[in-house]
Structure 1
Amino acid sequence: MPAETIESVSLSDGAVLWTRSLRRTGTPAVVFVHGGPGMWDYLAAPAEAVADRFSTHRFDQRGCGRSAPNGDHRLDRLVADLDELRTHFGHERWFVVGHSFGATLGLRYASVFRDRVIGLVYCDGVGLDWPRHRAAYRSRAAARLTTAQLRRRDELARQTRSHAEEVEWRTLCWQPDFADPTRAAAMAGADAVTPLPLNSAANTALNAECDRWAGEAERAACARVRAPVLVVHGAEDPRPREGVDALVSALPDAESSVVAGAGHQPWRERPAEFRALLREFLSGT
């Protein structure tokens, strides 16, 4: 298998993105778009699942993770970044695999650069009308923590945190995302120790913009998507499926698959099932 290459890619406005790619001659390309917003690339396992058949590209969104600091946190700017990466890597078209916020970003990209997307995998996004479903999500997530854990999570959120406290806070925030309560803390903890900062400014700005976009504008974007879409959702993801089901109905060409026994990261809790879904869709589109 070819070796992966790490490259800092300069964009038209001067932003610099960290990227990691595995290039294969004569194969379609897949770009993996992480969530957050304000996080970093964590999609190595999904990329590895298809790296024997496809060129793969991963990156940290502007101002996040290993990418250079940047204060321009707008959805349209991130959409433009994605297409600048496509051009830089020399692909006429490519597949887009987005997770969580990255699924929202991938959807928006597919609605704008319609002829550049072969297919979109929308993995554990929030679906349509997220502001209507946020309270239910928070209630479901809270139900997976003890009263003491909830108190500690909220206490840590309000204060300046040491490194150890940051890891503890992230673990408590992310623990409800996993289906298996006996493994949830360990799996969340494995993510929490990542030695990269969360970009809270990006998180705040982009979440607020996504809220403003939700509703008719988002439905109109769905109608513009030409590419086939695979919507994957963990059955135990605390984010309600109602919005995801509505998204499937709003897209012209979409199929959905619910992964039993999986939460917000189905490739970790049900790796074989997720790998099969991803490979089948990418190979058959």
Structure 2
Amino acid sequence: MKTKLLLVAAIVAITGCAKSSTGRSQITLFSDSELNKMGATSFEELKQKEKISQDATINKYVQCVARSITKNVSKAAHAGDWEVVVFDSDQVNAFALPGGKIGVYTGILNVAKGQDQLAAIIGHEVAHVTERHSNERLSSNQLVQMGAAVGGAVMAQQEVENKETWLMVGLGIAQYGVLMPYSRMHESEADIVGQELMAKSGFKPSAAIALWQNMAKQSKGAPPEFLSTHPSNKTRINDLSKHLSKAERVYQQSTMRPRC
């Protein structure tokens, strides 16, 4: 049992040396090649399952915004071209996956008004990739599972009463006290990194604030922030507003001015 505990501690100590672009320590148990393979597999499955838009005008528009954003992505995050697919769906959604994959649902175009707001969406999603959030989420889930297994073994050895109840309590604490805040932190980080990325790509960073104001109108009845994997719209708007002056300086220094 001591060996298992030491193994978990060693993994955390070794992987905790990774840093996000914001300077935050990260736990990343998976290699880039593993994440890229997962991303490519998931993307292919989605392309088989979801209807792909054949609208030439929409595709050209989305491709233009995405291409402008990805020009400024570090080669360390993805060295090749990014594959961008527009899905014909009313879902208000978009995503980016490791391995250079971007998906945009046509439904989000009803909320993201104009190229700058769409750039805020794509910049946010690409920031999840550049900041290795998928790796962190998979790693944190794996560590929680390892911890539950070790805890279960300890209680079995010590003949703890009601061990199933204690395990459920522990997993609940991990879910609401660790994993959900961790996910909210990722979303907040992607908001800020994405706002700078869109600004560097020549899109007006103030559009990120307007976007989430639009989102707030669409998300009535959302759960309380502490029970959600995402920050509240109010939190996001406040964070982006506080960061706007820095993002505006990045925008003014950019030589890019896309016309999508």
The question of a shared fold, defined as TM-score above 0.5 by the shorter chain, is answered with no
**Structure number, greater radius of gyration:** 2
User: If each structure's strand is expressed as a fraction of its own residues, which one has the higher value?
Assistant: 1
TM-score where L is the length of structure 1: 0.26
TM-score where L is the length of structure 2: 0.28
